[in-house]
Amino acid sequence: MHLFTKIIRTGVVTEKLPDRPGEAVTLAHEVDRQARALFGRALAIRQVDAGSCNGCELEIAGLSGPVYDMERFGLHFVASPRHADGLLVTGPITRNMHHAVMETYEAVPKPKIVIALGACAISGGPYADSREVNNGVDGILPVDLYIPGCPPHPLTILDGLLRLIGRMPADANGR
């Protein structure tokens, strides 16, 4: 009971975050605003690991952690491609993952977006020209956004999503 009394007596001691352009919170608010204008709701993305080293996945996981907490700003990663607005692909798309990536892409309802995240998804990365990998996502899927890096920083990912949403037409009938 003593703890609750102390909490009530102390009150709120946190400050509102400053709204500084280009920072994570400002970018996240803008992503949410643009996604809701475009889709009428939050942006739902299905992430597909197509043979990456998991460096990109670590940065993606950071987006839903306490620093970026993208869920509260309207960016959601979903478990099913049927609930997604698009795919975020990491890795060079190994021969073994090619079919799975194609099936996942087909399961996403139209209009759909495709995001190639990281050097491997963009060009094959260090595995480029190997017979076991595809040299980037755009060799098999139409890519709407390339987010460079090895791995890209979470702010780079946010910036890329904001730029993509900003250039997509509101009446996109998609592919």
Residue 23 has pLDDT above 60, yes or no: yes
What is the residue extent of each domain of the chain? 22-167
Calculate mean pLDDT across residues 14-26: 62
Instruction: Say what the pLDDT of residue 32 is.
Output: 67
What's the CA gap between 11 and 22, in Å, rounded? 31
Residue 7 has pLDDT above 90, yes or no: no
Cβ neighbour number for residue 172 with a 10 Å cutoff: 14
Cβ neighbour number for residue 138 with a 10 Å cutoff: 15
- Distances in Å between the Cα of 146 and the Cα atoms of 73, 89, 150, 155 are 22, 10, 12, 14
Q: How many helices (H) and strands (E) does the chain have?
A: 6, 5
Model's pTM, two decimal places? 0.76
Closest listed residue to residue 42, CA positions, set 50, 54, 33, 51: 33
- Only one residue has tokens 């899927």, namely 141
What's the CA gap between 76 and 96, in Å, rounded? 27
pLDDT tens digits along 84-97: 999 999 999 999 99
End-to-end CA separation in angstroms for the chain: 60
Calculate mean pLDDT across residues 91-114: 94
> What CATH code is assigned to 22-167?
3.40.50.12280
152 with 118: CB under 8 angstroms? yes
pLDDT tens digits along 58-76: 999 988 888 877 776 677 8
